[in-house]
Amino acid sequence: MFYLSKIEHKFALPPHLLARPIREAIQSELERLFLDKVIQKLGLCISVYDITSIEGGSIFPGAGAPTYQVVFNLIMFRPFPGEIISAKVMSLDADGVRLSLGFFEDIYIPTHHMPYPSYYISKNNTRKWTWEYGEETDEFNIEISNEIPSSKCELPNDSS
Amino acid sequence: MSLVRFYLLLEMKILEENAGALTNFEVLDFLRAKGASKDPSRVLAKVAMSEYKVYDYLVKTPAGSQTRESVKEYFTAIKQHDLSEAEVLNVLNIRPASEVEIYHIIEDCEERFPDEEVTEIVEKVGNTLPAPPDKATPEEITKGDEETETQKHDEISQDQTEDGEQMDTS
């Protein structure tokens, strides 16, 4: 689920951070830039794991801030197809179920991926998906706030 | 106006896309070392809100009750079996409590491992890794609908639905 990715990034450090020790300032700026953002091919950035090296610090002509070249490791959330993850049901409708991990809320189980046979029932004010398994009509009801382990069959979209 | 050269001041290079896989426990440990904890006074820690969400999620998974020693024990015990690195990691993260769950995690399980070995693996997992938080005993599931009845009224027994996993494979 989680991987480390090594990144090298060249960026300008905003002057208001310069009062702090350099490591802290750079950590703070990296967190502002990467935390909770999705990077193409890498996944969702969870945390800055560590800073390997800091170079530079010179100010280019015309610029108002020093430019640093930093090599660091990021903890990325990158599930693979077929992985089994426990998630909470956020919402459901006729098209499927939407699950959330708290930090990542875009997990969908479309209708064709629901275990067979499943039915969507909406009556009164309750909505639920019912999976009829077994010979008797045993029902496994999926309702809001149930935790269900789910397996991912589809590659999540790589989006930046 | 003199000719001004614009330097590329923002440039990101991916040096290593995969510098190593992390177990859920390692990520949880890292966040704890940063200062994350369950107590409500969260403003004091240097942990960002989004990091806290990851912490909240992981604390409820089996990783939430694992310790460094138990993970080390698990790794030595599991070495005897021919599992790929990814499978070792998944078993650690999911902490299956029965053979049925193992079949889901390990590919071609029936062909690679005889039934006794699968039982052995389940035993080793049970012996080395602590039970997931909020679960006193390993789950034994009989009827799914009985469980779902309680969930409708009691949010705390949410974890019981994890037992549902055993149902869909049987």
Q: Same structural domain for residues A29 and A52? A: yes
B85 touches chain A (CB under 8 A): no
**Which chain A residues touch B165 with a CB distance below 8 Å?**
84, 148-149
- Pick the closest to residue A77 from A100, A47, A49, A98 (CA basis): A47
Q: Same structural domain for residues A7 and A73? A: yes
Q: Same structural domain for residues A102 and A70? A: no
**Residue A87 has what pLDDT?**
80
Q: Which residue has the higher pLDDT, B28 or B164?
A: B28
Residue from the list A6, A60, A88 with its beta carbon closest to the beta carbon of B19: A6
**Residue B150 has what pLDDT?**
37
pTM for this prediction? 0.74
Q: Same structural domain for residues A10 and A71? A: yes
- Pick the closest to residue B73 from B126, B135, B138 (CA basis): B126
B37 touches chain A (CB under 8 A): no
Q: For chain A, list residues with pLDDT below 50.
A: 135-139, 144-147, 153-160
Band of pLDDT at residue B96, cut at 50, 70 and 90: confident
Mutate one of A86, A89, A142, A150 to test the B interface: name it (highest B CB count within 10 A): A86
This complex has an ipTM of 0.78
**Residue B148 has what pLDDT?**
37
| Among A65-79, A112-126, B90-104, B124-138, the range of highest mean pLDDT | A65-79
pLDDT of residue B93 exceeding 90: no
Q: Same structural domain for residues A99 and A46? A: no
Instruction: Give residue B45's identity as a one-letter amino acid code.
Output: A
**Which chain A residues touch B56 with a CB distance below 8 Å?**
102
Answer yes or no: do B54 and A143 touch at CB < 8 A.
Answer: no
**Residue B91 has what pLDDT?**
87
B145 SS3 class: helix
**Residue A64 has what pLDDT?**
87
Q: What is the pLDDT of residues B42-86, one digit of tens each?
A: 666 678 888 888 998 888 888 888 889 998 988 888 888 888 888
- A84/A87 Cα distance (integer angstroms): 10
Mutate one of B53, B92, B100 to test the A interface: name it (highest A CB count within 10 A): B53
Topology, domain B21-128:
Growth Hormone; Chain: A; (1.20.1250)
Total of domains in chain A = 2
Query: Domain limits of chain B?
Result: 21-128
Q: Same structural domain for residues A60 and A122? A: no
**Residue B154 has what pLDDT?**
37
**Residue A138 has what pLDDT?**
44
Q: Same structural domain for residues A100 and A126? A: yes
**Residue B34 has what pLDDT?**
87
Q: Which residue has the higher pLDDT, A51 or B41?
A: A51
**Residue A110 has what pLDDT?**
81
Question: Which residues lie below 8 Å from residue B108, measured CB to CB, with a gap of 6+?
Answer: none
Q: What is the pLDDT of residues B64-75, one digit of tens each?
A: 888 899 989 888
Structural domain containing residue A26:
2-77
Answer yes or no: do B145 and A67 touch at CB < 8 A.
Answer: no
Chain A with chain B: Cβ pairs closer than 8 A: 142
Residue B134 zone, left/alpha/beta (φ > 0; ψ -120 to 50; rest): left
Residue from the list A11, A75, A149 with its beta carbon closest to the beta carbon of B22: A75
